[in-house]
Amino acid sequence: MLMILGPTRLLVVASAMLASAGQAAASPQPDPGKKACVQEARRLCTAEMKSLSRKKVEACMIVKIDQTSPTCHAAMLRIRAEREAAAKR
């Protein structure tokens, strides 16, 4: 069913659509490395995954970084750099 909107309603609908599009663009984008690393962490760091400690899993993955996929490898390099920067503060 096609509805014909008056100029005021059209403006309101268009504004709402732009606002929701802006919110979607402003929301953080999912990290593709995170998804890749979760699957690899299950394989490479089983005990740490069971501990539910993010820090332990990250530390294990950094140690085993050479065994990770390129996507996960890049994410782990970023995490390692963030940890080193935080340690220097």
Identify the residue with better confidence: 87 or 33: 87
pLDDT at 88 over 60: yes
Longest CA pairwise span in the chain (Å): 63
- C-alpha 12/C-alpha 14 separation (Å) is 5
pTM of the model: 0.59
- pLDDT tens per residue, range 30-70: 666 778 799 999 999 999 999 999 999 989 999 999 999 99
Distance between CA 12 and CA 52 in Å, rounded? 46
**Residue 3 banded pLDDT, cuts 50, 70, 90:** very low
